[in-house]
Structure 1
Amino acid sequence: MLGLWVAVLGPVSLYAQSASSAEPSLAVPSSQAGLVGGAGTSLAMPTPVAAPAPTAAPAPATALPFPTSPSGLGGTVVFGSQMFVGRFANMPFTGFNPDYQIAVGDRVLLRIWGAVTYEAYQNVDPQGNIFIPNVGPVSVLGVQNKDLNKQVEAQVRRTFRANVGVYASLDSAQPVRIYVTGFVRAPGLYGGVSSDSVLNFIDKAGGIDPDRGSYLSVKVLRGGKPRANINLYRFLLDGELDRLQFQDGDTVVVLPRQHTVTVMGEAQNAYVFELDRPEVSGSDIFYMARPKPTATHVSVVRNTGVQLTSEYHRLADAKPVMVRSGDLVTFTADKYTTTLLVRVDGDQQGDRSLVMPVGATLKDLMARLNPSPRANLDGVQLFRKSVQQRQKASLEVALRNLETAALTARSSTTEEANLRKSEADLMLNFTARARSIQPLGQVVLTDREEADKLLLEDGDVLNIPTRNHLVLLSGEVLFPNAQVYSPGASVDDYVQLAGGYTQSADTSKQIVLRSNGSVAPSGSNPEPGDEILILPKIESKNIEVTRSVTQILYQIAISAKVALGL
């Protein structure tokens, strides 16, 4: 099979080799063939003829495993430090750059078809030429990528005036090695191609040191002389990045940072910003920090010598204010709320969203409702975000105490240590599941006379349940279900109708939740709309673990109406 392949393609390949000193003919472009290309003539392309291995670029130096979220200045994140986490280093530029200038060492794909057939990859020689059989050397050094095909075609037309199609495109840019130094994490020599951006090489060096390096002053030196001065904030804020064409031996130098301002609060970019001078105007800070629409005021805390002084300005008046290096700028939403938005769910026939004045009570809200005749106004439920957050925080404290108790339990024997390890694994799995449960944030409304005096909060949700004669049963029962209310029936009666208790049920831990969020006294019979929760048994020799798990189960059952199993 190999001999047949050579026999078929051999003549064309041998012609290409004998006609010039170019590499063997190649049909399929290398992996970087899409890097740059030119516009060819309107003739059809020939069938590919051969495929030698492409010239390999030098392997880049291995980047160190640096942190993915560098920070500086006491933990405040520096603007720009989020760029260099390995993405640029792992993604070299392989797009079409029309302004790229052909350099020595670049590889050009050349195809000629028609009266004369020729196809090969040509490396630009030290004199800036590529050699075309029967045409001779063609100068391409310094030619822009967008003009490469025109340049080559014009030279070929001097020899072959008709019946010949020409296509030339840059297959791969010149491999280069660039020095990266200054205030980067890992100064050194790094490989790439001449079309790579400065971001690529800085990323390979681990990125700019956020505590010391500058994002405003990155210099590129060639032969010891300045080639470019790059401001990376232009790229971060406006998407602008100077296109550079690197040469072997160029040096990228990250200069030291000089001045900084810290921005906090209601800003889209709440970071430590670098300044190019000791003092800038407020408009410059606005441009970098991008205040949120909710921001109304800005405070400036100045660190002047041994004293701290503060200024407070309306956002509209703050642009002329001068901000100095070392200042702390905080954007705030200093608004006075005069109305509240309350949502009404359930059996409500009127508006679902009601605007109430600040200071309105639950009684005021009830007066504006338009419930249906089926509504159960005695069982209204009030859900509040602030209560939900406190319930979640309280649950988190209990879970941490449980983890501490499970992981610090002592053992006197190997067998006991193994049991403790298994128990700890079980508790960690339990806490992970418990953390995924979200409390409802329900406010218990038992005493309606006092509940009517309850002040509303913005975002409150009032649910009006429909009257029903069902009792819900969940937790450690064989068949959790909803049963028709039976007057005088006890919890055990409902459990028996659900198939009885499971083997892991703790029959002493029965919780009856009223629709208004309250817990019925022990031994009370369920009422219509109530929910029965049967909790699991806790088997542990560690008293602290047992106490913590019991507390957590009750917290989850009451705050989220969930009977969580072990």
Structure 2
Amino acid sequence: MMGTTVRSAALLTGLRHLTASASIAALLSATPLAAQAIDPSAIPRGSPVDPYGTGQSTASDGQYGRTGQSSSATTQSTATTTSDAYQPVSVGGSSTSDTNGTNLTMPGYGQRVGQNGLLDVDNLQVKRPATPGEFETWVKDVTGRKLKRYGSDLLIASARDFAVPATATIPPDYALNVGDTVSIALTGSIEGSVDAEIDRDGRIFLPNVGSISLIGVRYRDLKDRLAVAIGRQYRGYDVSVSVKRLRGVRVYVTGFANNPGAYSINSLSTLVNAVLAAGGPSAGGSFRSVKLYRNGAEVADFDLYQLLRKGDRSLDPLLQNEDVLFIPPVGKQVAVIGSVNEEAIYETREGENLADVLALAGGPTNVADASRLILYRLDDQDSVGSRQIDRALANAEKAEGGDIVQILPQGTLARSLDKQQAIVRIEGEVNKPGNYYVPPNTPLSQVLEMAGGLTPRASVYGTRFFRESVRSQQRRSFLEAVEQMEVSLAAAPLTGTRLGGDSGDRQTQIASARTFLDRLRQKEPDGRLVLDLQPQSASLPGSLLVENNDRIVIPPLVKTVGVFGAVYRPASFLLDGGKPLRVKDYVEQAGGPIRGADKGNIFVVRANGSVLTRSRGGMNAQVLPGDTVFVPIKTQSSSAWAKVRDIAQIVAQFGLTAAAIAAIN
């Protein structure tokens, strides 16, 4: 009873003195509450983090922290710091500095444990990513495409740093454990700081306070736990806490891992960190199941596709000391090719269907055929069967190991004219030139009517009609012709055909010819369609059905004839209203062929795009408005180089399109 009265009196006395000067209040509040009720010789002296009143922490590195750290450096957190504030911590085997300039150090991440139980850092060897498995090789042989296993890009050697960053934040739910180092700083009536490591019993020891159990305490509750313990002896102080050093834990990655073994990681690491540090699953390991065993019992089964495809780590558990991770064998694998967002080899789980596989592939692209898919399924070890499946029924077809699913593109399918909406561009000598959107099966006559009809100056015979389908066909044919010319050029020295001159000159000619052939490959045909028109035609073929992206250019009537090439005076000549002349007459008006001209290969390009050669009576044909006469240069050899040089001169002088070159050749 007497002791209770004394303690109550002491408490009231302490409260009265809190209104006095700051120095007196600090002195009184620094005295333990029980000081007036016990022997004065038993009164704790100084701060629990500075028991000798020196203003410095004298704890050693072994149990309480570093020595010689002044109280002025303890500015990590004051009373304004909330209990769940995140604090930086160093992990991943590197060092950084906190706000006090103190190094925060962690055991290395992903370091293999040697036979002596210590980290074998010097001899650490990390395997390359898993080599392609048998199914990947088989898919390449069957489809001709090199498909990767989905998820393998995450495991490349250049991206092997899967450790928690060197400066990380401790989550409020983090549970303290043996080996963690807690930093405590006191200000106010008692000052000082100390770093205390949680011992094997899960406790830390503070002078004048005693042992404090911190095992299993959440980080958000750490400040309150320490404040309660210190508050039994002191008043008028502020406490700030942080986790200065995290413990290391040892885990085992087993099963079908690319680099199985024991790993020392930090206590903030998760299942995914450890698996990826071990190189991920091997060619025979599963991405869909990673099992976590703790104390002999399975506590988690994580699907790596949840992270890879959905970005979901909510079920990724934190690891504890002596956890065992087991990667089971790979499940059923299905290859997905064609118009999907990511072609790859995907692993399926039990019960998943073809629709689930397409979802793993990111779904079909915008140009994919929405009605069907092609399924290649193993009938036996020697054959591959295929069948077409309605896309709407894909969720009813279970996926089987070895399946190859192909989505066909729809955007590249050429539809019939009966289903083609068309945009037709018409310009030149019409009353209302422009772009016209017309329904399928629209004839040319209707488009001309929409354009207001032809003007009186229209040259119907010289109409240029450009069509995309014709351009594609011309491009293919032209490239084939260029390849044949290249083969002929390469075979000329083998067949003994003379290229003229010595070997050095011959090599120069071949090099020049190859350079020109390369330039020809870069030419693009214009897709001109030569219409079957007569020079006196007054209308276009109205029954011709237009196609999408058709372009029609109706030029004005011209009354000139051009003569170019190996003549003395290349020029354009005006047609008068007199007696019509022949082609050879205009060649003579141009001065006639020069000495090096090839008179036997003179040809005429008509206004409608057709070509008339001398062998077909071109020299004696009457000229038409818009005709262009070409007189080539005669070569000294009948080799392939001579043909190439002829075409080169034509292109250089007159800028003919690739389609015209193909027609000439």
- Say whether the fold is shared (TM-score over 0.5): yes
Residues 271/65 of structure 1: CA separation in 2 closer, same or farther (3 Å cut): closer
TM superposition shift of 1:443: 0.4
My pick for the range that moved more, 251-260 or 47-56, is 47-56
TM superposition shift of 1:177: 4.6
Q: Which amino acid aligns with 1:318?
A: A
Q: Which one of 389, 402, 407 corresponds to residue 326 of structure 1?
A: 402
Contact kept, 8 Å, 1:375 with 1:464, in 2: the verdict is no
Aligned to 1:15: 56
1:362-373 equivalences under 5 Å are 368-369=450-451
Residues 521/366 of structure 1: CA separation in 2 closer, same or farther (3 Å cut): farther
Are positions 1:462 and 2:462 aligned together?
no
Aligned to 1:297: 372
Aligned to 1:564: none
TM superposition shift of 1:49: 4.5
Contact kept, 8 Å, 1:343 with 1:462, in 2: the verdict is no
Aligned to 1:534: none
TM superposition shift of 1:310: 5.0
Rounded Cα–Cα distance in structure 2 between residues aligned with 1:249 and 1:544: 78
Residues 21/297 of structure 1: CA separation in 2 closer, same or farther (3 Å cut): same
Q: Which amino acid aligns with 2:151?
A: G
Aligned to 1:480: none
Rounded Cα–Cα distance in structure 2 between residues aligned with 1:149 and 1:393: 81
1:217-236 equivalences under 5 Å are 217-222=289-294, 225-236=297-308
Aligned to 1:259: 332
Q: Which amino acid aligns with 1:340?
A: Q
Contact kept, 8 Å, 2:64 with 2:197, in 1: the verdict is no
Rounded Cα–Cα distance in structure 1 between residues aligned with 2:287 and 2:58: 50
Q: Secondary structure at the match of 2:139?
A: coil
Residues 328/50 of structure 1: CA separation in 2 closer, same or farther (3 Å cut): closer
Are positions 1:114 and 2:114 aligned together?
no
1:132-531 equivalences under 5 Å are 135-168=209-242, 170-171=243-244, 173-210=246-283, 212-222=284-294, 225-241=297-313, 242-277=315-350, 280-289=352-361, 290-292=363-365, 294-305=369-380, 310-332=386-408, 339-340=419-420, 342-343=422-423, 352=435, 354-357=437-440, 368-369=450-451, 380=464, 382=466, 384=468, 387=471, 391=475, 440=524, 442-447=526-531, 449=533, 460=549, 462=551
Q: Which one of 84, 103, 125 corresponds to residue 38 of structure 1?
A: 84
Contact kept, 8 Å, 1:89 with 1:200, in 2: the verdict is no
1:73-92 equivalences under 5 Å are 73-75=138-140, 76-86=147-157, 89-92=160-163
Contact kept, 8 Å, 1:296 with 1:332, in 2: the verdict is no
Contact kept, 8 Å, 1:347 with 1:372, in 2: the verdict is no
For normalisation by structure 1, the TM-score amounts to 0.60
TM superposition shift of 1:396: 11
Residues 488/254 of structure 1: CA separation in 2 closer, same or farther (3 Å cut): farther
Rounded Cα–Cα distance in structure 2 between residues aligned with 1:394 and 1:329: 36
Unaligned runs of 5+ in 2: 1-51, 77-82, 88-97, 112-123, 141-146, 494-509, 535-539, 559-570, 575-604, 615-624, 629-638, 661-665
Contact kept, 8 Å, 1:64 with 1:206, in 2: the verdict is yes
Rounded Cα–Cα distance in structure 1 between residues aligned with 2:447 and 2:304: 55
Contact kept, 8 Å, 2:459 with 2:555, in 1: the verdict is yes
Q: What's the CA shift string for 1:213-251, capped at 9, x where partnerless? A: 211222233455534322222223333332222234443
Q: What's the CA shift string for 1:504-562, capped at 9, x where partnerless? A: xxxxxxxxx9999999999xxxx99x9xxxxxxxxxxxx9999999999979984599x
Q: Which one of 51, 62, 72 corresponds to residue 102 of structure 2?
A: 51
Residues 187/445 of structure 1: CA separation in 2 closer, same or farther (3 Å cut): same
My pick for the range that moved more, 70-79 or 340-349, is 340-349
Q: Which one of 116, 121, 126 corresponds to residue 63 of structure 1?
A: 126
Rounded Cα–Cα distance in structure 2 between residues aligned with 1:74 and 1:376: 59
Residues 185/113 of structure 1: CA separation in 2 closer, same or farther (3 Å cut): same
Rounded Cα–Cα distance in structure 2 between residues aligned with 1:369 and 1:28: 86
Rounded Cα–Cα distance in structure 2 between residues aligned with 1:189 and 1:393: 64
Q: Which amino acid aligns with 1:22?
A: G
Rounded Cα–Cα distance in structure 1 between residues aligned with 2:477 and 2:268: 53
Residues 487/302 of structure 1: CA separation in 2 closer, same or farther (3 Å cut): closer
Rounded Cα–Cα distance in structure 2 between residues aligned with 1:310 and 1:89: 40
Rounded Cα–Cα distance in structure 1 between residues aligned with 2:173 and 2:518: 55
Rounded Cα–Cα distance in structure 1 between residues aligned with 2:328 and 2:342: 23
Q: Which amino acid aligns with 1:140?
A: L
Q: Secondary structure at the match of 1:318?
A: helix
Q: Which amino acid aligns with 2:139?
A: G
Rounded Cα–Cα distance in structure 1 between residues aligned with 2:206 and 2:644: 83
TM superposition shift of 1:202: 3.0
Which structure shows the higher strand fraction? 1
Rounded Cα–Cα distance in structure 1 between residues aligned with 2:480 and 2:188: 77
Contact kept, 8 Å, 2:253 with 2:324, in 1: the verdict is yes
Q: Which amino acid aligns with 1:226?
A: E
Rounded Cα–Cα distance in structure 2 between residues aligned with 1:320 and 1:145: 50
For normalisation by structure 2, the TM-score amounts to 0.53
Unaligned runs of 5+ in 1: 1-10, 31-36, 42-46, 410-423, 470-485, 490-512, 531-542, 562-566
Q: Which amino acid aligns with 2:201?
A: Q
TM superposition shift of 1:318: 3.4
My pick for the range that moved more, 61-70 or 551-560, is 551-560
Q: What's the CA shift string for 1:427-474, capped at 9, x where partnerless? A: 999999999x6x65530244464996877655x36386999x9xxxxx
Contact kept, 8 Å, 1:297 with 1:315, in 2: the verdict is yes
Residues 56/545 of structure 1: CA separation in 2 closer, same or farther (3 Å cut): farther
Rounded Cα–Cα distance in structure 2 between residues aligned with 1:160 and 1:375: 107
Q: Secondary structure at the match of 2:308?
A: helix
TM superposition shift of 1:309: 5.5
Contact kept, 8 Å, 2:130 with 2:282, in 1: the verdict is no
TM superposition shift of 1:197: 3.4
TM superposition shift of 1:350: 7.0
- RMSD, aligned CA: 6.2
Rounded Cα–Cα distance in structure 1 between residues aligned with 2:125 and 2:481: 44
Identity of aligned residues (%): 21
Contact kept, 8 Å, 1:219 with 1:230, in 2: the verdict is yes
Q: Secondary structure at the match of 1:203?
A: helix
Residues 367/110 of structure 1: CA separation in 2 closer, same or farther (3 Å cut): farther
Q: Which amino acid aligns with 1:235?
A: L
TM superposition shift of 1:105: 2.9
TM superposition shift of 1:371: 10
Q: Secondary structure at the match of 2:466?
A: strand
Rounded Cα–Cα distance in structure 1 between residues aligned with 2:175 and 2:342: 37
Rounded Cα–Cα distance in structure 2 between residues aligned with 1:172 and 1:514: 89
Residues 444/434 of structure 1: CA separation in 2 closer, same or farther (3 Å cut): closer
Rounded Cα–Cα distance in structure 1 between residues aligned with 2:219 and 2:225: 10
My pick for the range that moved more, 50-59 or 236-245, is 50-59
Q: Secondary structure at the match of 1:166?
A: strand
- The number of residues matched between the two structures is 477
Rounded Cα–Cα distance in structure 1 between residues aligned with 2:444 and 2:85: 74
TM superposition shift of 1:367: 5.4
